[in-house]
Structure 1
Amino acid sequence: MEVQFKIIRQTQDSSPRIQTYKLEVEPGNTILECLNRIKWELDGTLAFRKNCRNTICGSCGMRINGRSALACKENITSELARLEQIAASSSAPTASNGIPEITIAPMGNMPVIKDLVVDMKRFWGNLNKVEPYVSTQSRDIPEREFLQTPEERAKLNQMGNCILCGACYSECNALEVNPEFAGPHALAKAQRMIADNRDDHTEERLEDYNQGTEGVWGCTRCFNCNTACPMEVAPMDQITKIKHEILERKNAGDSTAIRHRKVLVDLVKQGGWVDERKFGILVIGNYFRDVKALLGLGPLGLKMLTRGKFPLSFEPSEGTKTVRSLIESVQRLEQQK
């Protein structure tokens, strides 16, 4: 079958351009195999990364039809089926000549070096900042082994599956607006250290990951990293676990991010949903303790009142008891872990 590949090409000093290649392919061919043939048979100047060809090294990360994935994992059949599903549920245009099209672009949130090759310097730098290695005083005793039970080791398996391909980093909305955010890849590795019973720097790590929007509070919980991850690491879930560890150790007055989480849960437990009248005052105003912040809410509050956006009364949800029971059940389960 014939497939048309539209590849976004550029260099560091040029604007992106689309170059089209037509190729006779087999349904089971991977995208990486097709890129290899384009380079070997049609255009030797095309640049992309590759290595293992077997979903192990993570080198061939790129955007395939708008979402970050591994070129060695995705094949022609599955990709065209995905495009058909998208076309069936939207008004997306199809190829005018009837030939299936696959668009390939470099990963996002990283500057392009050439074609599909991106500069991952910040990606690796952010990973290094979380110190993704076991730190323990037992290193001072050479003959001592780092023994773990199967149950203790099993807690590390999901995060250990990360191959650092960059797919989650590429799709991260938080990084698009906040370049200082550590990124889902780094924080997933950070959770591996928190869960590792051999590490003795847990408290110091949690303090580091709790800093502003550079750490876990910079996550927007958009689920893009979970969707993009080819290894089912679920980075956002790992970030949430770190947040829970921090929340267990902190009081609501410690920071706005922590108050936001605690006040949200408390208000939902009280009334079944969020009481907007209290939320901003308790979170921004720190339970009426931060007078300057409270005064800063004044102009916004007046605008909301004049436009009818500020509720003067609060009606608790009819399902408040059910909601409260669910929250308390989840909290009990978390304490048992």
Structure 2
Amino acid sequence: MHVIFKVIRQQPGAVPRIQEYHLEAEPSNTILECINRIKWEQDGTLAFRKNCRNTICGSCTMRINGRSALACKENVGSELARLEQAVPFGEQTDDNAAASIPTIALAPLGNMPVIKDLVVDMKGFWDNLKAVDPYVSTAARQVPEREFLQTPEERSRLNQTGNCIMCGACYSECNAREVNPGFVGPHALAKAYRMVADSRDQTTETRLEKYNHSTDGVWGCTRCYHCNAVCPMEVAPMEQISKIKSEILERTDAQFNAQSSRSIRHRKVLIDLVKKGGWINEQEFGLKVVGNSFRDLQGLMSLAPLGLRMIVKRKFPLGFEPSAGAENVRSLIESVKSLDKSQQVTLTSETPEPTGG
């Protein structure tokens, strides 16, 4: 089958350009096999990363037709089938009159500066991973004669996040990282949850305090699901971020007061107000979240300009009318909470004894 590969070429400091390569390929050929042939047979200057060729090292990640993926995992047949489903080849338009020829576009990863062609500088990626301290800390324990033991259930909590191969696909597609340079990224927070979930780690509270820091940590996630969609190892980074949030919220139930961060207040006040009235009382929401129930004077002052604009535009509600379905909403929320608690109790009661070595 004749396939056109459109590759983004770029030199440091230069404007990107598109270069086309025509190749005879089999549907079973991986994208990596194809660009290897392009480099060996057509253009030795083409730059890209590769190593294991077996979806283990994560080196060959690039954007394939607009999404970040492993070039050694995706093949020509499945990629063209995906494209055909999105836009039939007969309906594609192309100035070079090659609309009937299937085309695969290759580009460097996003959220990282380009070094050359499909090779990006991953220093920021690794620096952000380092920032979450992705190592088990047993500093508070006396080193035992035997290894630190875990039950099979405790070890199973680490399986999903342990599958991460640091390919950078989630980081490349992260909308939060694109607009917030301080956000550490989904890869780092997925690894962070592995440390939180590890029964051998002795710094859980310190970690949660660190991950709770403004929008640089878990509260910077916009829940766009792109990280989950592109992860080749089904680590589901956004789910791990949500688990860290839950851990933070559980630990702050007792001290939901002036010391609580605005992010935590936002989550808790929203649920409480929906339980109370079926939907959000915006006046009460602003005062409790931004103003911290009149404890945060700076926050209250920041609401004043908005309040004045709303009054001028006659958008300021004078009262609040609860939803007719508030009772049902309240019942649903309580049912979900009860279900979560019962599942936690079941897991605890079924935890087997530690296994040793």
Q: TM-score range by the shorter chain?
A: over 0.9
Match of 1:215 in 2: 217
Following the alignment from structure 2 to structure 1, what is the Cα–Cα distance between the partners of residues 145 and 297?
A: 58
Following the alignment from structure 1 to structure 2, what is the Cα–Cα distance between the partners of residues 330 and 156?
A: 25
Pick one of 108, 114, 117 that aligns with 1:115: 117
Pick one of 333, 337, 345 that aligns with 1:331: 337
Normalised TM-score (structure 1): 0.94
Task: Give, in angstroms, the shift of residue 305 of structure 1.
Answer: 3.2
Q: 2:60 aligned with 1:60, yes or no?
A: yes
Q: 2:290 aligned with 1:284, yes or no?
A: yes
Q: Cα–Cα, structure 1 residues 37 and 293, in superposed 2: closer, same or farther, change >3 Å?
A: same
Task: Give, in angstroms, the shift of residue 140 of structure 1.
Answer: 4.5
Q: Is the CA contact 1:86–1:92 (under 8 Å) kept in the aligned structure 2?
A: no
Task: Give, in angstroms, the shift of residue 242 of structure 1.
Answer: 0.6
Q: Is the CA contact 1:47–1:115 (under 8 Å) kept in the aligned structure 2?
A: yes
Following the alignment from structure 1 to structure 2, what is the Cα–Cα distance between the partners of residues 143 and 87?
A: 62
Q: 2:143 aligned with 1:141, yes or no?
A: yes
Normalised TM-score (structure 2): 0.89
Q: Deviations over 1:2-28 (max 9, x none)?
A: 111110111222111111101111011
Q: Cα–Cα, structure 1 residues 34 and 220, in superposed 2: closer, same or farther, change >3 Å?
A: same
Following the alignment from structure 1 to structure 2, what is the Cα–Cα distance between the partners of residues 42 and 220?
A: 42
CA RMSD in angstroms comes to 1.9
Following the alignment from structure 2 to structure 1, what is the Cα–Cα distance between the partners of residues 167 and 136?
A: 22
Match of 1:314 in 2: 320
Match of 2:349 in 1: none
State the secondary structure of the residue aligned to 2:249. Answer: helix
Task: Give 2:318's aligned amino acid.
Answer: L
Following the alignment from structure 1 to structure 2, what is the Cα–Cα distance between the partners of residues 180 and 148?
A: 35
Task: Give, in angstroms, the shift of residue 146 of structure 1.
Answer: 2.1
Task: Give 2:223's aligned amino acid.
Answer: R
Task: Give 2:109's aligned amino acid.
Answer: M
Match of 1:298 in 2: 304
Task: Give, in angstroms, the shift of residue 92 of structure 1.
Answer: 8.0
Following the alignment from structure 2 to structure 1, what is the Cα–Cα distance between the partners of residues 193 and 251?
A: 16
Q: Is the CA contact 2:61–2:109 (under 8 Å) kept in the aligned structure 1?
A: yes
Following the alignment from structure 2 to structure 1, what is the Cα–Cα distance between the partners of residues 21 and 185?
A: 34
**For residues 160-309 of structure 1, what are the structure 2 equivalents within 5 Å?**
160-250=162-252, 251-253=256-258, 254-309=260-315
Match of 2:3 in 1: 3
Match of 1:127 in 2: 129
State the secondary structure of the residue aligned to 2:280. Answer: coil
Q: Is the CA contact 1:138–1:144 (under 8 Å) kept in the aligned structure 2?
A: no
State the secondary structure of the residue aligned to 2:105. Answer: strand
Percent of aligned pairs sharing the same letter: 70
State the secondary structure of the residue aligned to 1:80. Answer: helix
Task: Give, in angstroms, the shift of residue 326 of structure 1.
Answer: 2.5
Task: Give 1:110's aligned amino acid.
Answer: M
Match of 1:15 in 2: 15
Task: Give 1:269's aligned amino acid.
Answer: K
Task: Give, in angstroms, the shift of residue 315 of structure 1.
Answer: 3.2
Q: Deviations over 1:107-163 (max 9, x none)?
A: 000011111111111111111111111111487525221221111111111111111
Following the alignment from structure 1 to structure 2, what is the Cα–Cα distance between the partners of residues 85 and 39?
A: 29
State the secondary structure of the residue aligned to 2:87. Answer: helix
State the secondary structure of the residue aligned to 1:6. Answer: strand
Which stretch of the first structure deviates more once superposed, 298-307 or 234-243?
A: 298-307
Q: Is the CA contact 2:193–2:240 (under 8 Å) kept in the aligned structure 1?
A: yes
Q: Cα–Cα, structure 1 residues 99 and 260, in superposed 2: closer, same or farther, change >3 Å?
A: same
Q: Deviations over 1:245-291 (max 9, x none)?
A: 11112225311111111111111111222222222221111112223
Q: Is the CA contact 2:140–2:202 (under 8 Å) kept in the aligned structure 1?
A: no
State the secondary structure of the residue aligned to 2:106. Answer: strand
Task: Give, in angstroms, the shift of residue 329 of structure 1.
Answer: 2.7
Match of 2:83 in 1: 83
Following the alignment from structure 1 to structure 2, what is the Cα–Cα distance between the partners of residues 312 and 100?
A: 60
Match of 1:103 in 2: 105
Q: Is the CA contact 1:31–1:74 (under 8 Å) kept in the aligned structure 2?
A: yes
Q: Is the CA contact 2:307–2:316 (under 8 Å) kept in the aligned structure 1?
A: yes
Unaligned runs of 5+ in 1: none
Unaligned runs of 5+ in 2: 345-357
Aligned length: 335
Following the alignment from structure 1 to structure 2, what is the Cα–Cα distance between the partners of residues 320 and 84?
A: 46
Task: Give 2:137's aligned amino acid.
Answer: S
Following the alignment from structure 2 to structure 1, what is the Cα–Cα distance between the partners of residues 251 and 138?
A: 22
Match of 1:46 in 2: 46
Task: Give 1:127's aligned amino acid.
Answer: L
Q: Is the CA contact 1:62–1:105 (under 8 Å) kept in the aligned structure 2?
A: yes
Q: Is the CA contact 2:9–2:18 (under 8 Å) kept in the aligned structure 1?
A: yes
